[in-house]
């Protein structure tokens, strides 16, 4: 590793920074908790520790260990099938811009799109608390149907379970999705190279803040709408403009900060973000300031982070901005060779700080 940390560190502090970096590298999350906490569901460091210790340990296999948004599976025909799943437990069930129903479609469609797949079919499994209003269930199903139609997918199979009052919180929805990856397309962390450019398809934190405000327990009003949206179309726009695109991920739970850490760890590179380039809507930024949370860690449900070759970044940005879902797309950083496995944020003051994965869960049940 080079003795110079990028960006330059004030005289006399280089050693301190190098020590911190080493400490981060060693700190592969390890599960020490004896019971599951909300943090284990937040998509950050505790989630990674739980997944490592419990699920990877039990199920260890190549497809799962990719830890992508979905699994890529070889069919006998030579085609590649993408397969993804997510459970949705968001509270409240309705929020500005969407509902648990539309989210359950968008989230899984987006996981498939992040694998490079064209989403085709969804399953939908409902765990419903006894006493849940049938009309509300029907309205959520209608939201799902509308979201599916807009995303070009079909809900082809499902399940309904009912549990006694108090054994669930209204309704939980689990969707799984399948789609095919067009021949020759491969998006993967190991394709990322120093010099590549990091893009985001729009503003950060809209979903998390919209849901938080919709809960109404904060004495805070702001005009924030969830960004929940299907991204498969925007991905096709990106790949047409920047066919060399290396890697894609939707920064849901854990936010952009966490997915950049996953990228840095998987690709063995540094992700260097520029604070001033991060697109954040004013009311979202204001709410985050008041709540003491960082938009870098707040969930998005209609955005992706993409790594593209530097020479394709301009075309990618132009194409994304011409699409309604990519109007606020921005270059937010670059890939560097060092310090390996670290995300750095170049602050507006000319310094830099290490961006860790999300620790704890500032916003539980956001998706």
Q: Which residues, 126 to 145, sit near its own copies by CB under 8 A?
A: 126-135, 137-138, 141-142, 144-145
Under the criterion CB under 8 A, does residue 168 sit at the interface with its own copies? Answer: yes
CB of 350 to its own copies, least distance (A): 39
CB of 230 to its own copies, least distance (A): 16
Instruction: Between 70 and 283, name the residue whose CB sits nearer to its own copies.
Output: 70
Instruction: Between 81 and 357, name the residue whose CB sits nearer to its own copies.
Output: 81
# residues near its own copies by CB under 8 A = 85
Burial of 120 (0-12, 13-18, 19+ CB in 10 A): middle
Phi, psi of 68 (to 5 degrees): -80, -175
Instruction: Between 48 and 200, name the residue whose CB sits nearer to its own copies.
Output: 48
Among 113, 155, 213, 288, binds its own copies (CB under 8 A): 155
Q: Determine the Cα–Cα distance for residues 83 and 111; give it in Å rounded to an integer.
A: 9
Q: Determine the Cα–Cα distance for residues 198 and 343; give it in Å rounded to an integer.
A: 12
313 in helix, strand or coil? Answer: helix
Q: Which of 37, 120, 54, 56 is nearest to 83 (CA)?
A: 120
**Which one of the spans 11-19, 41-49, 227-235, 341-349 is the region binding its own copies (CB under 8 A)?**
41-49
Under the criterion CB under 8 A, does residue 292 sit at the interface with its own copies? Answer: no
Q: Determine the Cα–Cα distance for residues 333 and 126; give it in Å rounded to an integer.
A: 40
Cα angle for residues 291, 37, 28 (degrees, 5° grid) = 90
Under the criterion CB under 8 A, does residue 187 sit at the interface with its own copies? Answer: no
Among 11, 26, 34, 276, binds its own copies (CB under 8 A): 34
Q: Footprint of its own copies on residues 302-361 (CB under 8 A)? A: none
**Which one of the spans 171-179, 219-227, 276-284, 345-353 is the region binding its own copies (CB under 8 A)?**
171-179
Under the criterion CB under 8 A, does residue 183 sit at the interface with its own copies? Answer: no
Among 15, 19, 22, 33, binds its own copies (CB under 8 A): 33
Instruction: Between 79 and 223, name the residue whose CB sits nearer to its own copies.
Output: 79
Q: Determine the Cα–Cα distance for residues 18 and 344; give it in Å rounded to an integer.
A: 13
Q: Determine if the peptide bond prior to 34 is cis (ω within 30°).
A: no
Among 7, 29, 314, 364, binds its own copies (CB under 8 A): 364
Question: What residues are paired with 98 via a beta bridge?
Answer: 95
**Which one of the spans 167-175, 236-244, 268-276, 281-289 is the region binding its own copies (CB under 8 A)?**
167-175
From residue 96, alpha-carbon distances to 21, 34, 99, 207, 223 in Å are 40, 37, 8, 9, 9
Under the criterion CB under 8 A, does residue 57 sit at the interface with its own copies? Answer: yes
Under the criterion CB under 8 A, does residue 76 sit at the interface with its own copies? Answer: yes
Q: Footprint of its own copies on residues 84-123 (CB under 8 A)? A: 84-89, 120-121, 123
Instruction: Between 73 and 240, name the residue whose CB sits nearer to its own copies.
Output: 73
CB of 124 to its own copies, least distance (A): 7
Instruction: Between 148 and 231, name the residue whose CB sits nearer to its own copies.
Output: 148
Q: Footprint of its own copies on residues 219-278 (CB under 8 A)? A: none
From residue 338, alpha-carbon distances to 7, 200, 220, 264, 318 in Å are 11, 22, 41, 10, 29
CB of 165 to its own copies, least distance (A): 9
Q: Determine the Cα–Cα distance for residues 343 and 263; give it in Å rounded to an integer.
A: 9
CB within 8 Å of 168: residues ≥ 6 apart: 127, 128, 129
Q: Are 171 and 132 in contact (CB under 8 A)?
A: yes
């Amino acid at each position: 590793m080079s003795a110079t940390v990028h960006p330059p560190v004030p005289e006399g502090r280089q050693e301190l920074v190098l020590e911190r970096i080493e400490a981060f590298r060693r700190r592969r999350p390890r599960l020490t908790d004896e019971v599951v906490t909300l943090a284990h569901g937040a998509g950050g460091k505790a989630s990674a520790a739980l997944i490592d210790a419990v699920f990877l340990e039990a199920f260890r296999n190549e497809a799962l260990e990719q830890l992508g948004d979905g699994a890529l599976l070889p069919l006998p025909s030579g085609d590649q099938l993408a397969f993804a799943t997510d459970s949705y437990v968001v509270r409240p069930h309705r929020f500005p811009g969407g509902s648990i129903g539309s989210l359950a479609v968008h989230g899984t469609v987006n996981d498939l799109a992040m694998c490079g797949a064209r989403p085709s079919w969804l399953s939908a499994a409902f765990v419903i608390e006894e006493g849940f209003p049938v009309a509300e269930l029907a309205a959520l199903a209608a939201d799902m149907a509308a979201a599916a139609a807009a995303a070009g997918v079909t809900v082809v199979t499902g399940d309904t379970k009912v549990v006694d009052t108090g054994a669930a919180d209204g309704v939980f929805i689990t969707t799984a999705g399948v789609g095919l990856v067009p021949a020759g397309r491969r998006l993967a962390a190991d394709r990322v190279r120093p010099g590549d450019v990091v893009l985001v398809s729009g503003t950060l934190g809209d979903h998390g803040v919209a849901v938080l405000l919709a809960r109404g327990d904060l004495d805070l009003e702001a005009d924030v709408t969830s960004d929940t949206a299907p991204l498969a179309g925007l991905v096709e726009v990106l790949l047409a403009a920047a066919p060399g695109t290396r890697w894609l991920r939707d920064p849901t739970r854990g936010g952009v900060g966490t997915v950049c850490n996953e990228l840095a760890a998987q690709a063995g590179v540094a992700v260097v973000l520029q604070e001033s380039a991060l697109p954040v809507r004013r009311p979202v930024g204001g709410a985050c300031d008041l709540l003491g949370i960082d938009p870098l860690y707040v969930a998005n449900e209609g955005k992706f982070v993409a790594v593209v070759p530097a020479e394709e970044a301009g075309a990618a940005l132009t194409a994304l901005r011409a699409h309604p879902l990519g109007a606020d797309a921005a270059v937010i950083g670059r890939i560097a060779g060092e310090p390996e496995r670290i995300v750095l944020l170049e602050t507006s003051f000319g310094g830099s700080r290490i961006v860790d994965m999300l620790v704890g869960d500032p916003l539980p049940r956001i998706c």
